[in-house]
Each structure stands twice: as structure tokens, then as C-alpha cells.
Amino acid sequence: MGDLLSLFPAGSTVDADGGLLVAGCRATDLAAEFETPVLVVSESVVRARAKDSVTEFAARWPRSRVVFASKAFPCTAVQRVMTEEGVGLDVAGGGEIVTALKAGADPALLVLHGNAKTDAEIALAVEHGIGLVVVDNSDDVDRLEATVPPGRRQDVLVRVIPGVTAETHASVLTGHEGSKFGLAPAAAAELIKRIKRSPRLRMRGLHVHVGSQILDVAPFAASVPAVAALGQYEIYDLGGGLGARYTYDDHPPSVGEYFDALVRAARAHLPAAAQLIIEPGRSMVAGAACTLYRIVTVKRGLRTFVAVDGGMGDNLEVALFGQRFEAGLADRIDATGGELVTLVGRHCESGDVLIDGVALRDPRVDDVVAVPVTGAYCFTMSNNYNGNRRIPVVFVRGGRARLVVRRETWDELLLRDVD
Ligand SMILES: Cc1ncc(COP(=O)(O)O)c(C=O)c1O
């Protein structure tokens, strides 16, 4: 068994009684005050990661920009922290534009993505002066040309498929040949010619993204020559994808190693005066959070099932990608040994398993279970399955806790049923 505490947000500690403290807040107190399940985020960890990313990238490539892939955690409080720390925002669609604007982001620092942007989303982007629209297909160009008013030009990047197959789950692979995202180089070259002729668009550069939860720097570096082959531009957006450490066996590259690899490839293949953008999502927020649940029942038989009051309603990473998580009991987080159990959720699916095989010592009804590394893609994919009320988000910092997203109410579950 590894060091469970090391998976919780940096600065997490164990008190004299063996209880977990996140940013100085006792996990069991947070569970009592905000009820469970609750997503607990260390604000300082998010800020530090954002700040370090900007500084470390700029130290290696001064004309650089970090934009947070909002999709990983698109609540206004997180987007606001990123904005305050000098990080721009990648927004995938209208909803993330709306939350980013509410968070106070400068529209000029937003980068709009989407393989199927609608008329309404393009109109929203143009209306608010979104800095860069990443063109994924020729219909994006049709829509932009029909929307951008005369006398104005929308800055665009063109998304290119680099033909790089990274080692990760197939569902989060995007840079391989045949991907639904972006254009193969020959098709990209054709569309670029059209954009360059357009009176409504300004061709600023290229975009590439190889996938998510990538634990090796080689695929990122390999994507650079693929975009370089399409010509010299002012901007190269090299996407996101750096993996996070979910389990004891995960060893993702450090931010420094990741930037070293990107910048080495950029020096070899891209114009020295170009601006580089990166769009990390998962690696910026995953390890900054944990989810607290309460045990509802312990059932012993062929296997021991420990069932909690959440599950696939607040964490779809397991069902969608088979992501492995770890867990511990919040009031005895440093307990070793224990029974190997299957940690399951409360939803009506056998696939609603949070962890298939985790050691918990003497788990009992009402104990608080803490699952680390839930900061990425959990909040954003939370859902109302089985009438689940989406869970709250609490920021913790210096021993103080602050609710930033409240729990959904029963009334809200009924709000959209109009007949
Ligand atoms: C275009 C684009 N940029 C950035 C990201 C962020 O990826 P990650 O959260 O793995 O860093 C994604 C997500 O897959 C994406 O599709």
C-alpha cells in the first residue's frame, strides 16, 4: 500500500487522532457542516499550480500563454481563481463562455473550442469578442463568415490532427488519425487557404491536442512537427493532456519536464518569434480536490460492498474511463491494513463502482470516506441520475471553509418539468 496522504491536496495533514485535515480543515467537520457527498477543493493548491504553470512556461518560452481547459472544472469560482492568477480560459461551448464571463475573465483571453459549434455559440463568441476561435471544420468558417459583422475580423486557429496515438484510454484520445476532432493535415491546408482569403477572419495559427491523462512527454513533443509542417504562423496552441497522479503507481511528468519537452520540440520546429499556448485542464485541478462521502451500508457476502451516499452521480471517471481511485476513512486516514472492499455508489447500476478493491479498516455505517484526486472532470460530469442532487463544492484554505457551489435542491430537480 502506498502513501495515501500524498494523493490528497498538497498541505493535507493528519491530526493527533489520525483524522484527515485538508488545508487545515478536518474532513469529518466539513462532512458534518456541508453534508455529504461534498467536493472539497484546496484553493491554495489551485492557485499555486496556476501561478507555477505561468511562470515556468514563460521562463522557457517568454512569448507563452497558459489557458485553463475549463471543461475540467467549469465552475465560476475555479475559473475566477485561474483568471486572478493570470491564466486564460479554454471554453468548449456556450455554457463555458457564460460561466467564464461571470467569473470575470477577459473575453480577449478566451479560446473557444468545439467540434460542433452551433450558430448560437458562434454568435455568442462574436458578440462577446472571444479572443481566439479554434476552427474545427469548414462549417465553423461558414458560420463565422455569416456572423462576424463587416469591418471586423475574428482571429482563428485551425485544429490539426497530428496523427499521434498517445497511450491513454481510447475515450480520451484525440490526436490519432480518424479522430472526430480537427482536420487531417491536407484538409487543414485547404481550409487555411480559404481562411486567408476571408475578409471576416484572420488566420493566426494552429492548434493541436493529443488527448488526456497522458503520463509521458513523448506524444506532446511528437505533435509539434506535425503542426510545423503546415507552415509558419504567429501562434501555436499545443493543447492540454498532461496526466494527473491518481494512484500510487502513477508517475506523471512534472510541469517542468512537460514544458522542457514542449519547448525543446518548439525550438526545433517552430518559429522563434511565435507565441505558444498550452491548455492544461486535468493536471491543473485533479489533485487539488477530494470528495467526502458517508457510508450508508456495509454488506458482507462473496465480497464486501461498502456503499456510500454518492457514486456515478458525482464521479463518472470510473464508469467512462475505468479510472482507478484510492480512498481512506477520514477519521483514521493513516490506518494501515484492513479489509479489501468494493466501494460502490448508490445508483441503480452494477457499474456504479467507485473503487474495485480498496483496503478500509473496519468500515462502519456513517463513517466518512475520503476519495482524493477528484478535482478534474467530476463536478463537470455530475448528473441527476436516480434523482441525484448535484453535490456542493467547498473551497478550503488556511483552516477556513467556504461554500462556492451549493447542493442542488429537490425543487430544482422539478424546475424544468413544465407540464
Ligand atoms: C482541445 C482541448 N484542450 C485541452 C483539453 C484539456 O485536456 P486535459 O484536461 O487532459 O489537460 C482538452 C480535453 O481533452 C481538449 O479537448
Mind listing the pLDDT tens digit of every residue in the chain (419 residues)?
Answer: 469 999 999 999 999 999 999 999 999 999 999 999 999 999 999 999 999 999 999 999 999 999 999 999 999 999 999 999 999 999 999 999 999 999 999 999 999 999 999 999 999 999 999 999 999 999 999 999 999 999 999 999 999 999 877 777 877 778 888 888 899 999 999 999 999 999 999 999 999 999 999 999 999 999 999 999 999 999 999 999 999 999 999 999 999 999 999 999 999 999 999 999 999 999 999 999 999 999 999 999 999 999 999 999 999 999 999 999 999 999 999 888 899 999 999 999 999 999 999 999 999 999 999 999 999 999 999 999 999 999 999 999 999 999 999 999 999 999 999 99
pLDDT at 261: 97
Residues contacting residue 411 through CB under 8 Å, at least 6 positions apart: none
Atom of ligand 1 nearest to the CA of 241: 10
For ligand 1, atom 13, the nearest C-alpha belongs to: 212
pLDDT at 178: 82
What's CA 372's distance to the chain center, in Å? 15
Atom of ligand 1 nearest to the CA of 159: 1
Task: Give the C-alpha distances (Å, rounded to integers) separating 141 from 64, 208, 241, 283.
Answer: 26, 18, 26, 32
Q: Which three cell numbers stand for residue 169?
A: 484510454
Residues contacting residue 315 through CB under 8 Å, at least 6 positions apart: 291, 325, 345, 354, 371, 374, 378, 381
Rounded CA separation 141/199 (Å):
12
Which residues have CB under 6 Å of ligand 1? 69, 71-72, 90, 113, 174, 209, 212, 239-242, 279-283
pLDDT at 160: 96
CA 281 / ligand 1 centre spacing (Å): 6
On whether the pTM is more than 0.85, the answer is yes
pLDDT at 396: 98
Residues contacting residue 405 through CB under 8 Å, at least 6 positions apart: 75, 77, 379, 392, 393
Atom of ligand 1 nearest to the CA of 242: 11
The residue annotated as part of the active site, out of 25, 75, 348, 378, is 348
Tell me the CB-side half-sphere exposure of residue 417, using CA atoms within 13 A.
5
CB 117 within 8 A of CB 143: yes
CA 79 / ligand 1 centre spacing (Å): 15
User: Active site includes 348?
Assistant: yes
Bridge partners, residue 371, by sequence: 291
Bridge partners, residue 121, by sequence: none
Pocket test for ligand 1, best of 66, 71, 132 (most atoms within 8 A of CB): 71
Rounded CA separation 289/42 (Å):
6
Rounded CA separation 242/217 (Å):
8
